[in-house]
Amino acid sequence: MPIKDTYRITDLDSRSKLDDGADKPARLAVIGWPVAHSASPQMHQAALDALGMDMRYIRLEVPEGQTAEAFERMHKLDFVGCNITVPHKFAAGAYCDELGACAKLLGSANTIRFGKSGSMGFNTDGMGFVNSVREKFGAELSGLSVVIAGAGGGAGQALAAQCIESGVKRLVLVNRSQGKLTQLVEHLSQPEPDTVIIALGFDSPDLARHCLESQLIVNASSVGLKTDDPSILPAECIKAEHWVYDAIYKPPQTPLLKLAQQAGAKTTNGLPMLIHQGVISFKHWFPGAEPLPYMRQAMQP
């Protein structure tokens, strides 16, 4: 029987069912709903193979509400750990027995390490973002003025927290749900940061002005994943001097990035962030490993 491209929670019934037709046991996974688009197995498997680790990294499709069940099943099947994507990051944070500093601050996790004493959760989005901004734009976050569109979700909150920690000068948070922004601003303001924090809805008449006064614009939402999605921000928010960062990596060019390129702005999609946060996740599972060159090579177009 050929191995599957995407697994379901019922495939975790037994080790024999999960590994049927495979030459290596599945011991790492990315879980999400949906998850078929995830490129994580491609880069993680390349690193595992290059480093001589006898295991597979799989996609695991888990419906919302079944997160804890999936974790329990993976733990019983001796998984090393997993990555978590939408919509499970906050449920993952609640499930873990212990959380790293960033995951504890946000209450969400995108990486779990299973162990005999329980599960440890981490959030690697923030540092993956920092490393990719440095790589693609040759800049540090410190002192920048940053706009995060879609700031209320798990990724947006992680990037916002990282911006505060990195000392951005001004942080503009944009979201459809004002309630999520109110909670986020209260959270980020404890203790009072040096960063000026501004919260806006997408319908705010001040949106374009705040965008044009910023240097880095980030889409942290899922708007752009579907082929018929509009741009998360209108054209009047983008100028040639901007750096525009879309955390989506598939498709590689989103409507926002197309608008930015038409305006003459520098752009990047989320692939560098995926690679850098993947490296950090890998090191949580396998301390001392150096997977970056293998992951980069695997993600070459």
Backbone angles phi, psi at 57, to 5 degrees: -115, 125
Mean pLDDT of the chain: 95
pLDDT on residue 227? 86
Determine the pLDDT at residue 191: 84
Q: Which residues pair with 171 in a beta bridge?
A: 146, 197
In this prediction, residues 150-174 reach a mean pLDDT of 94
The pLDDT, as a whole number, for residue 84 is: 96
pLDDT computed for residue 102 by the predictor: 87
Average pLDDT over residues 199-209: 97
Cα torsion angle, 31, 5, 46, 162, sign = negative
Degrees, nearest 5: CA angle 85-87-90: 90
Q: Catalytic site residues?
A: 89
Structural domains in the chain, CATH included, are 7-123+273-298 (3.40.50.10860), 126-269 (3.40.50.720)
Q: Round to whole Å and give the CA distance between 253 and 80.
A: 33
Q: Which residue has the higher pLDDT, 179 or 124?
A: 124
For residues 100-112, average pLDDT: 91
Helix (H) or strand (E) holding 137: helix 125-137
90 pLDDT band, cuts 50/70/90, is very high
Q: What's residue 2's pLDDT?
A: 64
- Give the pLDDT score at 238: 98
pLDDT above 70 (res 87): yes
Q: What is the pLDDT of residue 179?
A: 87
Checking phi first, is residue 82 left (phi over 0); if not, alpha (psi -120 to 50) or beta?
beta
Report residue 190's pLDDT band, with 50, 70 and 90 as the boundaries.
confident
What is the percentage of the chain residues whose pLDDT exceeds 70? 99
Q: Report the range of poorest mean pLDDT among 9-18, 185-194, 199-208, 276-285.
A: 185-194
Q: Is the pLDDT of residue 1 over 80?
A: no
β strands within the chain, DSSP E = 7-8, 26-32, 56-61, 81-84, 98-99, 111-115, 118-122, 145-149, 170-174, 196-200, 216-219, 243-246, 266-268
Angle at 130 between CA 269 and CA 202, to 5 degrees: 60
28-56 pLDDT tens trace: 999 999 999 899 999 999 999 999 999 99
Residue 111 predicted with pLDDT over 80: yes
In this structure, of 11-25, 93-107, 193-207, 268-282, the range with the lowest mean pLDDT score is 93-107
The pair of structure tokens assigned to 99 is 């959380």
Q: Average of pLDDT values for 220-227?
A: 92
pLDDT at 78 over 70: yes
Number of H helices, E strands in the chain: 12, 13
pLDDT at 216: 98
Mean pLDDT of 128-140: 97
Whether the pLDDT of residue 139 is over 70: the answer is yes
